[in-house]
Amino acid sequence: MIILLIAIVIAFVISIASLYFGYSKQNRTFKNRTAFLENCIAVLGKQQEKQLNQLKLSDVLSEQLKESNHHLNKIIYDVNFQLFLAMFNKKKNN
């Protein structure tokens, strides 16, 4: 009877030890995976920030191009108007 009791206690100790080692292994695996995912999230966050900055620069550049286009259109209109007046004045003098 004592031998059976000792065998059961040893079986429980072995099963508890194996469960503990299995838990430790899974815990290490989980920590490694979460560390990898944290790194991925950090990298993606940096990439998103970079793309957001590029988008802001693109918006600023687009606005500057619109302003430059408007300014150039005004200059071209003024030059054409001056040429038209010069041609009109030449015809009027002839």
3-state helix, strand, coil in the chain (%, to 5): 100, 0, 0
Q: Please, what is the average pLDDT of the chain?
A: 93
The confidence band for 94, taking pLDDT boundaries of 50, 70 and 90, is low
Over residues 45-84, the pLDDT tens digits come to 999 999 999 888 888 889 999 999 999 999 999 999 999 8
Spell out a b/e string for 42-54, using b for 16 or more CB atoms within 10 Å of the CB, else e.
eeeeeeeeeeeee
Q: What is the largest CA-CA distance in the chain?
A: 137
Q: What is the pLDDT of residue 50?
A: 93
Q: Per-residue pLDDT averaged across 29-44, rounded?
A: 97
The confidence band for 86, taking pLDDT boundaries of 50, 70 and 90, is confident
Position 6 pLDDT exceeds 80: yes
d(CA 80, CA 83): 5
Position 40 pLDDT exceeds 70: yes
